[in-house]
Amino acid sequence: MPTSVVTGAAGFIGSHLVNALLSQGEQVIGVDQFNEYYDPALKRKNIAPVAQHPNFKLIEADIQTLDWTALLADVDVLYHQAAQAGVRSSWGTGFRTYTEQNVNVTQILLEAAKESKRLQRFVFASSSSIYGNAEAMPTSETLCPRPVSPYGITKLAAEQLCGLYHQNFGVPVCALRYFTVYGPRQRPDMGFHKFFKAALDNQPIDIYGDGQQTRDFTYVSDAIAANLAAATVPEAVGEIFNIGGGSRVALTEVIDTMATIADRPIQRNYIETAIGDARHTSADVSKAQRILRYQPQVKLSEGLQQEWEWIRALYA
Protein backbone atom coordinates (compact mmCIF):
# COMPACT_ATOMS: atom_id res chain seq x y z
CA MET A 1 0.00 0.00 0.00
CA PRO A 2 1.56 3.37 -1.00
CA THR A 3 2.23 5.87 1.77
CA SER A 4 1.92 9.63 1.32
CA VAL A 5 2.67 12.61 3.52
CA VAL A 6 0.54 15.75 3.18
CA THR A 7 1.78 18.93 4.85
CA GLY A 8 -0.94 21.47 5.67
CA ALA A 9 -3.24 18.44 5.92
CA ALA A 10 -6.03 20.27 7.76
CA GLY A 11 -6.00 23.27 5.42
CA PHE A 12 -8.29 24.01 2.50
CA ILE A 13 -6.54 22.08 -0.29
CA GLY A 14 -4.60 19.73 2.00
CA SER A 15 -7.72 18.28 3.64
CA HIS A 16 -9.35 17.59 0.26
CA LEU A 17 -6.12 15.88 -0.85
CA VAL A 18 -6.09 13.68 2.28
CA ASN A 19 -9.68 12.61 1.49
CA ALA A 20 -8.77 11.74 -2.10
CA LEU A 21 -5.69 9.72 -1.13
CA LEU A 22 -7.58 7.74 1.52
CA SER A 23 -10.37 6.98 -0.93
CA GLN A 24 -7.68 5.56 -3.27
CA GLY A 25 -6.65 3.14 -0.51
CA GLU A 26 -3.39 4.86 0.47
CA GLN A 27 -1.79 5.23 3.89
CA VAL A 28 -1.67 8.95 4.67
CA ILE A 29 0.35 10.87 7.25
CA GLY A 30 -0.99 14.39 7.68
CA VAL A 31 1.13 17.14 9.21
CA ASP A 32 -0.44 20.40 10.38
CA GLN A 33 0.56 23.08 12.84
CA PHE A 34 -3.00 24.42 13.37
CA ASN A 35 -1.54 27.92 13.64
CA GLU A 36 -3.57 31.05 14.31
CA TYR A 37 -3.51 32.55 10.79
CA TYR A 38 -7.21 31.71 10.78
CA ASP A 39 -9.45 29.92 13.29
CA PRO A 40 -7.89 26.49 14.02
CA ALA A 41 -11.43 25.21 14.78
CA LEU A 42 -12.18 25.47 11.04
CA LYS A 43 -9.14 23.33 10.25
CA ARG A 44 -10.21 20.74 12.84
CA LYS A 45 -13.60 20.65 11.10
CA ASN A 46 -11.86 20.07 7.76
CA ILE A 47 -9.96 17.05 9.03
CA ALA A 48 -12.66 15.65 11.35
CA PRO A 49 -14.28 13.36 8.72
CA VAL A 50 -11.05 11.31 8.40
CA ALA A 51 -9.66 11.69 11.94
CA GLN A 52 -10.58 8.09 12.88
CA HIS A 53 -9.73 6.53 9.49
CA PRO A 54 -7.55 3.42 10.04
CA ASN A 55 -5.13 4.48 7.26
CA PHE A 56 -4.71 8.05 8.50
CA LYS A 57 -2.30 9.44 11.06
CA LEU A 58 -2.26 13.13 12.04
CA ILE A 59 0.90 14.75 13.37
CA GLU A 60 0.20 18.09 15.00
CA ALA A 61 3.51 19.96 14.92
CA ASP A 62 5.56 22.74 13.38
CA ILE A 63 7.26 21.26 10.29
CA GLN A 64 10.55 22.80 11.41
CA THR A 65 10.66 20.68 14.59
CA LEU A 66 10.11 17.21 13.07
CA ASP A 67 12.68 14.55 12.18
CA TRP A 68 11.91 14.46 8.47
CA THR A 69 14.64 11.99 7.57
CA ALA A 70 12.96 9.40 9.81
CA LEU A 71 9.47 10.42 8.70
CA LEU A 72 10.22 10.05 4.98
CA ALA A 73 12.03 6.71 5.32
CA ASP A 74 8.92 4.72 4.32
CA VAL A 75 7.09 7.35 2.28
CA ASP A 76 6.42 7.19 -1.48
CA VAL A 77 5.02 10.68 -2.12
CA LEU A 78 5.34 13.98 -0.26
CA TYR A 79 2.68 16.57 -1.07
CA HIS A 80 3.92 19.90 0.31
CA GLN A 81 0.74 21.99 0.64
CA ALA A 82 1.60 23.88 3.86
CA ALA A 83 2.40 27.58 3.45
CA GLN A 84 1.87 30.97 4.96
CA ALA A 85 -0.82 32.21 2.62
CA GLY A 86 -2.26 35.63 1.81
CA VAL A 87 -0.86 38.42 -0.35
CA ARG A 88 -1.92 41.43 1.70
CA SER A 89 -0.59 40.30 5.07
CA SER A 90 2.85 39.51 3.61
CA TRP A 91 3.92 43.17 3.84
CA GLY A 92 5.56 44.69 6.91
CA THR A 93 6.44 42.85 10.11
CA GLY A 94 4.62 39.68 9.02
CA PHE A 95 7.17 38.99 6.29
CA ARG A 96 9.47 36.96 8.53
CA THR A 97 6.69 34.39 9.00
CA TYR A 98 6.45 34.07 5.22
CA THR A 99 10.17 33.45 4.77
CA GLU A 100 10.12 30.89 7.59
CA GLN A 101 6.98 29.01 6.55
CA ASN A 102 7.43 29.20 2.77
CA VAL A 103 11.18 29.18 2.17
CA ASN A 104 12.90 27.65 5.24
CA VAL A 105 10.31 24.90 5.64
CA THR A 106 10.57 23.91 1.96
CA GLN A 107 14.36 23.72 2.25
CA ILE A 108 14.08 21.49 5.34
CA LEU A 109 11.78 19.10 3.44
CA LEU A 110 14.05 19.07 0.38
CA GLU A 111 17.09 18.25 2.53
CA ALA A 112 15.24 15.24 3.97
CA ALA A 113 13.89 14.26 0.54
CA LYS A 114 17.40 14.06 -0.93
CA GLU A 115 18.35 11.46 1.71
CA SER A 116 15.24 9.34 1.15
CA LYS A 117 15.78 6.04 -0.70
CA ARG A 118 12.06 5.42 -1.20
CA LEU A 119 10.56 8.79 -2.14
CA GLN A 120 9.12 8.68 -5.67
CA ARG A 121 7.73 12.22 -5.87
CA PHE A 122 7.83 15.59 -4.08
CA VAL A 123 4.80 17.61 -5.23
CA PHE A 124 5.17 21.30 -4.35
CA ALA A 125 2.17 23.64 -4.17
CA SER A 126 3.27 26.85 -5.86
CA SER A 127 1.14 29.83 -6.87
CA SER A 128 0.17 32.04 -9.79
CA SER A 129 1.38 34.90 -7.55
CA ILE A 130 4.87 34.24 -8.85
CA TYR A 131 3.88 35.81 -12.21
CA GLY A 132 2.74 39.16 -10.80
CA ASN A 133 1.29 41.31 -13.57
CA ALA A 134 2.03 38.88 -16.38
CA GLU A 135 2.88 40.36 -19.78
CA ALA A 136 0.93 37.72 -21.70
CA MET A 137 -2.56 36.24 -21.28
CA PRO A 138 -3.05 33.36 -20.95
CA THR A 139 0.28 32.99 -19.16
CA SER A 140 2.56 30.05 -19.92
CA GLU A 141 5.18 28.54 -17.60
CA THR A 142 7.98 29.92 -19.81
CA LEU A 143 7.15 33.54 -18.96
CA CYS A 144 9.65 35.26 -16.68
CA PRO A 145 8.22 35.44 -13.12
CA ARG A 146 7.80 38.95 -11.69
CA PRO A 147 6.02 38.74 -8.31
CA VAL A 148 4.33 41.93 -7.09
CA SER A 149 3.95 40.82 -3.45
CA PRO A 150 6.33 39.55 -0.76
CA TYR A 151 4.18 36.39 -0.62
CA GLY A 152 4.81 35.79 -4.34
CA ILE A 153 8.54 36.25 -3.79
CA THR A 154 8.62 33.56 -1.08
CA LYS A 155 6.65 31.10 -3.24
CA LEU A 156 9.01 31.71 -6.16
CA ALA A 157 12.07 31.25 -3.91
CA ALA A 158 10.68 27.93 -2.63
CA GLU A 159 9.94 26.80 -6.18
CA GLN A 160 13.49 27.69 -7.26
CA LEU A 161 14.86 25.67 -4.33
CA CYS A 162 12.86 22.68 -5.58
CA GLY A 163 14.51 23.10 -8.98
CA LEU A 164 17.99 23.25 -7.43
CA TYR A 165 17.45 20.08 -5.37
CA HIS A 166 16.17 18.30 -8.46
CA GLN A 167 19.15 19.35 -10.61
CA ASN A 168 21.83 18.71 -7.98
CA PHE A 169 20.50 15.78 -5.96
CA GLY A 170 17.86 14.22 -8.18
CA VAL A 171 14.97 14.97 -5.82
CA PRO A 172 11.87 13.96 -7.86
CA VAL A 173 10.18 17.36 -7.64
CA CYS A 174 7.10 18.61 -9.47
CA ALA A 175 5.66 22.10 -8.87
CA LEU A 176 2.03 23.12 -9.42
CA ARG A 177 1.23 26.81 -9.84
CA TYR A 178 -2.34 27.13 -8.54
CA PHE A 179 -4.58 29.86 -9.96
CA THR A 180 -7.13 31.09 -7.34
CA VAL A 181 -8.49 27.84 -5.93
CA TYR A 182 -12.03 27.94 -4.47
CA GLY A 183 -14.70 25.58 -3.18
CA PRO A 184 -15.85 24.07 0.14
CA ARG A 185 -13.38 24.56 3.05
CA GLN A 186 -11.93 27.69 1.45
CA ARG A 187 -10.05 29.84 3.98
CA PRO A 188 -12.11 32.62 5.58
CA ASP A 189 -9.67 35.30 4.35
CA MET A 190 -10.30 34.32 0.71
CA GLY A 191 -12.68 36.26 -1.52
CA PHE A 192 -15.50 33.82 -2.22
CA HIS A 193 -15.73 32.74 1.42
CA LYS A 194 -15.87 36.37 2.56
CA PHE A 195 -18.42 37.33 -0.11
CA PHE A 196 -20.80 34.44 0.57
CA LYS A 197 -20.58 34.99 4.32
CA ALA A 198 -21.36 38.69 3.82
CA ALA A 199 -24.35 37.72 1.64
CA LEU A 200 -25.52 35.37 4.39
CA ASP A 201 -25.24 38.18 6.97
CA ASN A 202 -26.70 40.84 4.64
CA GLN A 203 -23.48 42.83 4.94
CA PRO A 204 -21.77 44.81 2.15
CA ILE A 205 -18.56 43.38 0.70
CA ASP A 206 -15.35 45.32 0.16
CA ILE A 207 -14.06 45.30 -3.41
CA TYR A 208 -10.49 46.44 -4.00
CA GLY A 209 -10.27 48.85 -6.95
CA ASP A 210 -12.90 48.95 -9.69
CA GLY A 211 -13.92 45.27 -9.61
CA GLN A 212 -12.79 44.76 -13.22
CA GLN A 213 -9.75 42.71 -12.20
CA THR A 214 -9.93 39.20 -13.64
CA ARG A 215 -8.93 35.84 -12.22
CA ASP A 216 -8.61 32.31 -13.49
CA PHE A 217 -10.68 30.46 -10.88
CA THR A 218 -9.88 26.80 -10.18
CA TYR A 219 -12.29 24.48 -8.36
CA VAL A 220 -10.63 22.51 -5.57
CA SER A 221 -11.37 19.04 -7.03
CA ASP A 222 -9.52 20.05 -10.21
CA ALA A 223 -6.49 21.10 -8.12
CA ILE A 224 -6.63 17.70 -6.38
CA ALA A 225 -6.75 15.84 -9.72
CA ALA A 226 -3.63 17.77 -10.76
CA ASN A 227 -1.81 16.70 -7.58
CA LEU A 228 -2.67 13.04 -8.06
CA ALA A 229 -1.44 13.17 -11.67
CA ALA A 230 1.73 15.06 -10.69
CA ALA A 231 2.51 12.28 -8.19
CA THR A 232 2.20 9.44 -10.70
CA VAL A 233 3.04 10.60 -14.24
CA PRO A 234 6.75 9.80 -14.84
CA GLU A 235 7.24 12.80 -17.19
CA ALA A 236 6.16 15.23 -14.43
CA VAL A 237 9.48 14.95 -12.58
CA GLY A 238 11.45 18.20 -12.71
CA GLU A 239 8.55 20.08 -14.30
CA ILE A 240 6.39 23.09 -13.37
CA PHE A 241 2.71 23.24 -14.34
CA ASN A 242 0.03 25.93 -14.36
CA ILE A 243 -3.18 24.65 -12.77
CA GLY A 244 -6.11 26.86 -13.76
CA GLY A 245 -9.85 26.45 -14.07
CA GLY A 246 -10.15 27.32 -17.73
CA SER A 247 -12.26 30.44 -17.26
CA ARG A 248 -10.99 33.97 -16.74
CA VAL A 249 -13.76 36.10 -15.24
CA ALA A 250 -14.02 39.69 -13.96
CA LEU A 251 -14.71 40.01 -10.24
CA THR A 252 -17.94 41.99 -10.72
CA GLU A 253 -19.27 39.24 -12.97
CA VAL A 254 -18.46 36.60 -10.33
CA ILE A 255 -20.31 38.62 -7.68
CA ASP A 256 -23.37 38.82 -9.95
CA THR A 257 -23.30 35.02 -10.26
CA MET A 258 -22.92 34.68 -6.48
CA ALA A 259 -25.92 36.95 -5.90
CA THR A 260 -28.00 34.76 -8.22
CA ILE A 261 -26.89 31.59 -6.41
CA ALA A 262 -27.51 33.10 -2.96
CA ASP A 263 -30.80 34.52 -4.24
CA ARG A 264 -30.19 37.93 -2.65
CA PRO A 265 -28.48 41.17 -3.64
CA ILE A 266 -24.84 41.60 -2.62
CA GLN A 267 -24.04 45.18 -1.62
CA ARG A 268 -20.66 46.42 -2.82
CA ASN A 269 -18.32 48.84 -1.13
CA TYR A 270 -15.50 49.92 -3.49
CA ILE A 271 -12.22 50.68 -1.72
CA GLU A 272 -8.71 51.52 -2.92
CA THR A 273 -6.69 48.94 -4.86
CA ALA A 274 -4.67 46.59 -2.67
CA ILE A 275 -0.88 46.75 -3.03
CA GLY A 276 0.49 43.42 -4.25
CA ASP A 277 -2.66 42.21 -6.02
CA ALA A 278 -2.11 41.28 -9.67
CA ARG A 279 -4.58 42.99 -12.01
CA HIS A 280 -5.28 39.92 -14.14
CA THR A 281 -4.46 36.21 -14.05
CA SER A 282 -5.06 33.63 -16.75
CA ALA A 283 -3.46 30.19 -16.94
CA ASP A 284 -2.19 28.57 -20.09
CA VAL A 285 -2.75 24.94 -19.01
CA SER A 286 -1.68 23.33 -22.30
CA LYS A 287 1.46 21.82 -20.72
CA ALA A 288 -0.58 20.26 -17.87
CA GLN A 289 -3.08 18.97 -20.43
CA ARG A 290 -0.33 17.42 -22.51
CA ILE A 291 1.75 15.81 -19.74
CA LEU A 292 -0.63 15.36 -16.79
CA ARG A 293 -3.77 14.85 -18.92
CA TYR A 294 -5.18 17.68 -16.80
CA GLN A 295 -8.64 18.83 -17.80
CA PRO A 296 -10.63 21.12 -15.48
CA GLN A 297 -14.05 19.55 -14.92
CA VAL A 298 -15.99 22.02 -12.78
CA LYS A 299 -17.56 25.16 -14.24
CA LEU A 300 -17.49 28.32 -12.13
CA SER A 301 -21.28 28.49 -11.56
CA GLU A 302 -21.30 24.83 -10.48
CA GLY A 303 -18.33 25.29 -8.13
CA LEU A 304 -19.81 28.43 -6.60
CA GLN A 305 -23.05 26.56 -5.90
CA GLN A 306 -21.05 23.91 -4.00
CA GLU A 307 -19.22 26.54 -1.99
CA TRP A 308 -22.47 28.40 -1.14
CA GLU A 309 -24.04 25.19 0.20
CA TRP A 310 -20.96 24.57 2.33
CA ILE A 311 -20.94 28.19 3.64
CA ARG A 312 -24.62 27.95 4.61
CA ALA A 313 -24.02 24.71 6.49
CA LEU A 314 -20.88 26.07 8.16
CA TYR A 315 -22.59 29.17 9.57
CA ALA A 316 -26.03 27.63 10.12
Is residue 33 a contact partner of residue 82, using CB atoms and an 8 Å limit? yes
In 3D space, the residue among 292, 304, 129, 307 whose CA is nearest the CA of residue 224 turns out to be: 292
131 is catalytic: no
Give the separation between CA 181 and CA 307, rounded to whole angstroms.
Answer: 12
From 151, 165, 178, 294, the catalytic residue: 151
Give the separation between CA 6 and CA 214, rounded to whole angstroms.
Answer: 31
Judging by beta carbons within 10 Å of its beta carbon (0-12, 13-18, 19+), is residue 306 exposed, middle or buried?
A: middle
Residue 207 C-beta-side C-alpha neighbours within 13 Å: 18
Catalytic site positions:
151
